[in-house]
Chains A and B, each alone.
Chain A
Amino acid sequence: MEILVCIKQVPDDAAEIRLKADGTPDLDGVAQVVNAFDTYALEMATRLKEAVGGEITVISVGGESARDALKTCLAVGAQHAFLLTDPAFEGSDSLGKARILATAKAKLEEKSGKPFDLIFCGLEATDKATGQTGAQLAELLNLPLITNLTDISYENGTVTAKQETDFGYNLIDSAAPCVVTVNTPAYAPRYPTIKSKLAAKKMPIDPISLADLGEDAGKVGKQAALTRTVRFAEPPQKVAGVKIKEETCEDSARRAVAMMVEAKAL
């Protein structure tokens, strides 16, 4: 089975990020990591590969620093990695990135002669959290899409996915190839072993440019973006909660309900 996993390098979501004077996020000194949902996608893909055999290719749209993110993926399950990098890609919105990924998928298939059976994406990226790229990629590739997965299996050309919902989960069958977006599964992504980490360091990560893709420069980058960020806002500071300490439990409950009515929550 040939699996493609699309990943994004994002600022470490455990770090506290403040805005600079110009209103953009201050990312100086913030570690760059693989988007958490993409690490789940890669782990799910790796487990599937271990179950049914095959190979995993990871791709990412980004600058030179994204090479580190790809290297991390090579240490925990991926066999091949390509960096989609070109000044013309900068400023792409999610649709622009989906277009780059879609074209790259076709190019990689053309080069290897092996079509991808499954394309994994994280549910969303932890930086901008638009959650659109996976769906847009499926649309551009004209492939079925299953979102919000927490598990997956594959038998006789059919993908069976466990899709999380607000009420439980759906089991969805789809013919391969298809695109899936991954939520948090029941298992944690594996750690690299010392040997896999050392081996990953020596594996090639070839860059792929706009010219390599043969993509139209007018369809990617800032000028082609259909969405734009109007402004960034810091999350509101957490304020101390209200403590209800009435004499009796009944009085406390009454006071809590009164407060909720007052706040129009009830």
Chain B
Amino acid sequence: MAYIISEEGQELLGAVKEFCEKEVKEQCKEYDKTGEWPKEIYDKAIEMQLHMLEVPEEYGGMGLDRVSVAALIEQMAIADSGFATTISASGLGMKPVLIGGTEEQKQRACDLIVDGGFAAFCLTEPGAGSDASAGKTTAVRDGDSYILNGRKCFITNGAVSSFYCVTAMTDKSAGTKGISMFYIEKDTPGLSTGHEEDKMGIRTSNTCDVVLEDCRIPASNLIGAEGQGFSIAMKTLDQARAWMGCIATGIAQRGMEEAIAYGKERIQFGKPVLKNQALQFKIADMAIKIETARQMVAHALTLMDLGLPYSKESAIAKCYASDIAMEVASEAIQMFGGYGYSREYPVEKLLRDAKIFQIFEGTNEIQRIVVANNTIGRF
């Protein structure tokens, strides 16, 4: 079972799979070691237009339904989840504009993506992780401009983006109601990138600080109205979470595929180890978890396509898929025995890659709060 996708999606899936098999999967092993951002792979992906799957049709995109896009993103994640993260985080970076922006802002942002750019979403700060209201970045109105100051951290695509959607306090006294969202293009004076993270996993994805020092931008770069930033950021994350679930599912799928292939080849006691029902049950448990995660992702994305509420489902998809990605990756290592612990084999990377999916775009503890609030209601 996989995603039930449109005929168009099916056509594309074969091409994307071929691309990922030939250009991404093996190449990323080396980049995982070095931590270098593999520009040449991304250039090829951009040429194939894989970076603009989420651009709406009216702004130059393809007009694919979200579940079809998910099938393609999962395929990328099977090859390398850092690669898929770069692609998907660009979609995340674009969402604040699509959710709260003007027509001009939307067209401008989408044009930059279509022309081969990436985007970054800048919410997290050193002192403001799960508690976004603790952010210290400020935006002060000065005539027809805003002047921004502050430091954002853990920004995916921070050093490789064409534009940034940045939250900043316009009214410190108002808590989350004092947060506003701004659109800032790269090369804007006062915007720079800082410390680059040397990460445990998804090492083909760029993560760094984004620094704002007296960064002056036109007042027209405000997305929505002053004070709407928190609401736009939460809507953005609500949508993006399902996509993180999609990538986590891809990691788990890869783990299961590697475990099956190895289990068929590894001979112990005169037979392939996968002939043991104990290991077959491990595969069965993996399949049950992966399929459940995938269908949860599909359900959340279908709700989005239908214009129905999806906060709870998106949070479930992200939380569940990342939890099972960790479990499946760990069990895949177990099935490889000692070899699974070796960097020469492909499964230890999956565990390192999977962990971040329990943390970013809202930790799984925050996801459980979202699910609980949406399930229990006010009382």
Contacts and interface: CB of A to CB of B under 8 A. Distances in A.
A64 B156 CA distance: 46
Interface of A: 75, 190-195, 197-198, 201
Choose among A75, A194, A195 the residue with the greatest number of B CB atoms under 10 Å from its CB. A194
B49 A193 contact: yes
Contact of B62 (A75, A190, A191, A198): A198
A191 B49 CA distance: 10
B62 A194 contact: yes
B141 interface: no
A96 B49 CA distance: 41
Contacts of B49: 193-195
Contacts of A192: 15, 48
Contacts of A194: 12, 48-50, 52-53, 62
Given A192-B48, A194-B49, A194-B53, A201 B19 contact: no
Interface residues of B, number: 15
A190 to B, nearest CB: 8
Interface of B: 7-8, 11-12, 15, 18-19, 44, 47-50, 52-53, 62
A197 B44 contact: no
19 contacts: A75-B15, A191-B15, A191-B44, A191-B48, A192-B15, A193-B47, A193-B48, A193-B49, A194-B12, A194-B48, A194-B62, A197-B11, A197-B15, A198-B8, A198-B11, A198-B12, A198-B62, A201-B8, A201-B11
Contacts of A190: 47
A29 to B, nearest CB: 15
A217 B79 CA distance: 50
Contacts of B48: 191-194
B12 A197 contact: yes
Nearest to A31: B14
Contacts of A75: 15
Q: What are the nearest 9 A-B pairs in CB distance?
A: A194-B49, A193-B49, A191-B48, A191-B19, A192-B15, A194-B62, A193-B48, A201-B11, A197-B15
A198 B68 CA distance: 13
Contacts of B15: 75, 191-192, 197
Given A191-B18, A198-B12, 11 more contacts: A193-B48, A194-B12, A194-B48, A194-B49, A194-B50, A195-B49, A197-B12, A197-B15, A198-B11, A198-B62, A201-B8
A197 B53 CA distance: 13
Contacts of A198: 8, 11-12, 62
Contacts of B11: 197-198, 201
A193 B60 CA distance: 14
A16 to B, nearest CB: 15
A75 B11 CA distance: 11
Given A201-B8, A201-B11, A195 B44 contact: no
A40 B18 CA distance: 17
Contacts of B50: 194
Given A197-B12, A201-B8, A191 B47 contact: yes
A201 B6 CA distance: 12
Contacts of A197: 11-12, 15
A192 B47 CA distance: 9
A191 B52 CA distance: 16
B49 to A, nearest CB: 4
A192 B48 CA distance: 6
A193 B47 CA distance: 7
A179 to B, nearest CB: 30
A75 B14 CA distance: 13
B8 A195 contact: no
